[in-house]
Structure 1
């Protein structure tokens, strides 16, 4: 006779099965399925903090930031002193471009505890967005001191070193893309401005690159006089990278991704080629 799991007694074994399903969804990259499974468990176990964090993580990874924030806020309604969740909520609002709200939350988290690396990292992100690079580097250094493995120091190159790295990245591209790149301008900026940040939905201050202007097909159809342009956001790329080789890899992937948009690939095609 087939067992119907709906009638199993509530116990740790059942929770372990649910947890295993979450891990499988996470490892498979199915973020919405992850959130769905966690929310299913929460219907009968609304106070389960761990599953609520899973739901928030899945929704955040799928860029459903408002829904993710709702789960984090539910945890804080029960325990406003949960510094990990205050910091997570700060990062969530930062990812959505709400820099001032993120700054307030990171400040509240710091007042609760000053030894949490993620809080200092968040303060660094906010300082960087406000172009206070000295404060940003100090905050990133604090995060690294508290958790060296989790928060490696950003790679910082001189202008000449970054230009050399960019040239190397171009050489790493397939030959046909190097030809396409001859028709595209490359601009390097420190960080996305407000307009660029909001060129995607939801807004993203951690953009690595952005394509603007006519696509290859539009240009050859005589549409528009704008120059096709790829903008690379240097400080975001450097912060994401653990060493110069990793930075080279990130620049190459970002160029490939944005060139895909120039060639008319949609996000599904970009993802299929492993360029998310």
Structure 2
């Protein structure tokens, strides 16, 4: 998830630059990035600043030091139930982690959390997320599958729940042995025709999945087929299926429009939805299941 916000912000800034009829004075903004995972310990928070388009990116120059960060668990009425304080990691400026006392606290599914980050200049950045429900893999049809065979990997899983709408998913595939020798034909074509490194290609992701990508059984369980486009390397691969909260759902679907995944004309392209007050970025959550399989030649 970490690279999503970088791409989104670059796209958003590029679109803003094209949309202006006259130069405007650059005003730095604070950027948050944090992804909470249902059933897993509280996750870190990254805080940075935006840069002018012409500025050279130097990590130390954009990291926000000395902020006061905390996350609240809210009750059903949106009132405070408990605070979880964070501290800046001593070896990583701008990287905030839960204090030791709450480091093993698990994120509760179907609960709402609120982030508050007070910047050194007094600016308050806030955001909220409702965590999707957990789900699980019930079984798979194969542990090993031949690349591009007619029989694809199928996962049988329970359904995640989300308040007010159907659950939406994305698939990511992580190659566990991402070597040049293990590139699939699609992976090799991407590698040779682009500037991507093997490490950058190690993890590939799908668009948001709709009902056309899975089959629902009578008992409500789902059967999902792994698309071959998600497989760039032979050998062991870890597939992750993530159910998204509203913040990540809005970010990813509007990001795809900004990057050309739409037939809308330029004047109709909507802005990227970020759901952050006092800054930019994403404070989102998701539930996930994972399974490791082998792709053979």
Whether these two folds match at TM > 0.5 is no
Compare the two structures and name the one with the higher helix fraction.
Answer: 1
**Relative contact order, higher structure (CA 8 A, sep 6+):** 2
TM, length-normalised to structure 2: 0.25
TM, length-normalised to structure 1: 0.26
